[in-house]
Amino acid sequence: MSFLDVKDLKIHFPTDDGVVRAVDGLSFSLERGETLGIVGESGSGKSVTSLGLLGLHKGGRAKISGEIWLDGEELVGATAEHVRTLRGRKMAMIFQDPLSSMHPYYTVGHQIIEAYRIHHQVSKAVAKKHAVDLLGRVGIPEPDRRVDSYPHEFSGGMRQRAMIAMALSCDPELLIADEPTTALDVTVQAQILDLMRDLQREFNSALIIITHDLGVVAELSNDILVMYGGKCVEYGSTDDIFYRPEHPYTWGLLGSMPRLDREPTERLLPIKGSPPSLINVPSGCAFHPRCPYAELTQGKSSTEVPALAESGGGHLVRCHLGKAERRRLWETEIKPVLETQ
């Protein structure tokens, strides 16, 4: 069994308009020291997945099923109080917008100290020293002074470093970063990603990076999971996803990757339409209304849900198109276009 094993995870929210199937049968696993990228557009269910792992999915109304095994412990059936004691200590999270994610009324130091003292019975002075150390380690200059600053007194990048310091305060073995660089300038993004890679090596923790941007996970991840409509549509090693992608949606994501030498809004292979509503997921393959190759399935795509099938070497794809067909399309239609750029 792996360090983290997620099996058939489902998180459904009953609402007045119907059941929102935010996560609908997701499975993956991860070892210590490894990095998994979860990629998808907003509304694909990737953020709910991360919150579900921490037991933070909203309130008592959400229905969660499946299994989450963390270091040999099952979390879905565990008590809320037990999961709470694991949060911050065993598993921690870095959020997207560090300004809104840090409490505006408390100093950065206070928030790190609080995180540390939840799980460690130490004096405030000891915790503060620890906080200063952490701030130094995440590259904040003059940490002994900045520890008493408020979040709004930090720059965006500094805040994210502080956020990372807070997440690392109890040496978590599983670190989940939800869009850790989205709110930051492009140059700062690179620094933060470098920092996370360095720290992961240092702490040997398992890292999940959640993002809508394949570029973010390209260099960090060992494996990548592409989500669409609450389901995994393609899973594979980073090489699989970047050099041998087989799902039309992944192709779309690759085509939307912002690059430094290109106008960020310009898209080469745009994905038509918008992500599906999680209440009324399209029948059959959830992606079929937007898929340029849907007609090649002779109508199967709109009636039958495709299975997540092995495509060789642990590479999984959920698509009605035959493996040969997918390879052909990639080699002849997609890859050349991407490479001309």
| Of residues 84 and 129, the one with the C-beta less far from other proteins | 84
Neighbour-count burial for 324-341, b at 16+ CB within 10 Å, e otherwise: eebeebbeeebbeeeeee
Q: How far is the CB of 134 from other proteins (least distance, A)?
A: 14
| Of residues 72 and 104, the one with the C-beta less far from other proteins | 104
Q: How far is the CB of 335 from other proteins (least distance, A)?
A: 40
- At 326, give phi and psi (nearest 5°): -65, -45
Q: How far is the CB of 82 from other proteins (least distance, A)?
A: 11
Q: In what order do the strands lie in the sheet with 91-94?
A: 91-94, 174-178, 206-211, 35-39, 223-228, 231-237, 316-318, 308-310
- At 331, give phi and psi (nearest 5°): -70, -40
Q: How far is the CB of 287 from other proteins (least distance, A)?
A: 30
| DSSP states along 111-179 | HHHHHHHHH----HHHHHHHHHHHHHHTT-SSHHHHTTS-GGGS-HHHHHHHHHHHHGGG--SEEEEES
Q: Name, in order, each residue with C-beta under 8 angstroms of 152's C-beta and a sequence gap of 6 or more.
A: 99, 104
The Cα 13–Cα 141 span in angstroms is 44
| Of residues 85 and 303, the one with the C-beta less far from other proteins | 85
Based on the number of CB atoms within 10 Å of its own CB, is 260 exposed (0-12), middle (13-18) or buried (19 or more)? Answer: exposed
Q: How far is the CB of 4 from other proteins (least distance, A)?
A: 17
- Residue 229 C-beta-side C-alpha neighbours within 13 Å: 21
The Cα 204–Cα 107 span in angstroms is 29
Which residues lie near other proteins (CB under 8 A)? 51, 54, 56, 84-89, 92-93, 95, 97, 100-105, 107, 114-115, 118-119, 150, 152, 166
Q: How far is the CB of 67 from other proteins (least distance, A)?
A: 21
Q: How far is the CB of 295 from other proteins (least distance, A)?
A: 43
| Of residues 21 and 117, the one with the C-beta less far from other proteins | 117
| Of residues 152 and 272, the one with the C-beta less far from other proteins | 152
| Of residues 56 and 126, the one with the C-beta less far from other proteins | 56
| Of residues 75 and 93, the one with the C-beta less far from other proteins | 93
